[in-house]
Each structure stands twice: as C-alpha cells, then as structure tokens.
Amino acid sequence: MTRNTITRSLQNFLFMLPASASPTDENLVSAAAKKLTSCGYVYVASSHEKDIVDRDNVRYMPFHPEALPNFGTMTQAFVLRDEDIARAAREAYPGAEVSLIDPANLGLLPSPLDGPEYGAMAAAA
C-alpha cells in the first residue's frame, strides 16, 4: 500500500450546495472537487441532484439540509454561502474543518499536491 493510498483512505471531503446554487456555482464546485480527488474521497451534495452518481472520481448525491450526509469521518466540508448549514455541519462533523465558500473564489484552492495547508486557504475563500 502506497502513502497516497493510505492518505486517500483517511480523508473525506464534502461540498454542500443548497437550492440557491446556480448552474455556474455547480460547475465551479465540480471543478474544485475534481482537484481534491488525489487527496481522498470527494462528495458533492447538491439540492439539484436527483440520484447518487459517480463522475470523474467524485460522488454526487442529493442534498437535504435537514439530514446532512453521513459517511465516516469527515476531513473537510465546504458549504456554499449558507451560514445555517455551515453551523449544522460543524455540529455534524466534529473535528472536521468547515468552510463557508463562494464558488467564484474556488480558484484559490491550491492543488492537493500542495500539502495539508490547502484547507486553511479554502477557509479564506
């Protein structure tokens, strides 16, 4: 087992997009999610998804704010412009870094190859 395999198995990243997300927001988040796939498992929960599907090594699923996704230990959760959902995520995922994001600033996410400090940079977005 390589170091990359071990790292991948230990990290879960979740993007949460409420109903207010636009198609442009969805596209920007998808691009950012793909960047994180070399660091771990990446999930995009969107109010606009009807089914669970895998695309480009990212799992897309329906998002229901009253029942946040739950699958193992969360490393980092990114919440699109909704402080109430971010607050709920902080409670649901203890120990995870929860970042309130604006997709227009997701280009600030560094490559996963940049190291563990990518989380702090995302929080600044």
List the chain domain ranges.
Answer: 3-124
Quick one: pLDDT band at residue 17, thresholds 50, 70, 90? very high
Tokens standing for 31? 């691009």
The pTM assigned to this predicted structure is: 0.78
Q: Which fold has domain 3-124?
A: Rossmann fold (3.40.50)
Distance of CA 56 to the CA centre of its chain: 14
Q: For tokens 């995009």, name the residue.
A: 44
pLDDT level of residue 8 (50, 70, 90 thresholds): very low
Q: Which segments of 1-125 are extended strands (E)?
A: 12-17, 41-46, 53-55, 58-62, 76-80, 97-101
Could you say which DSSP state residue 93 is in? S
Q: Is the Cβ–Cβ distance between 108 and 122 less than 8 Å?
A: yes
Across the strands, what pairs with 54? 59
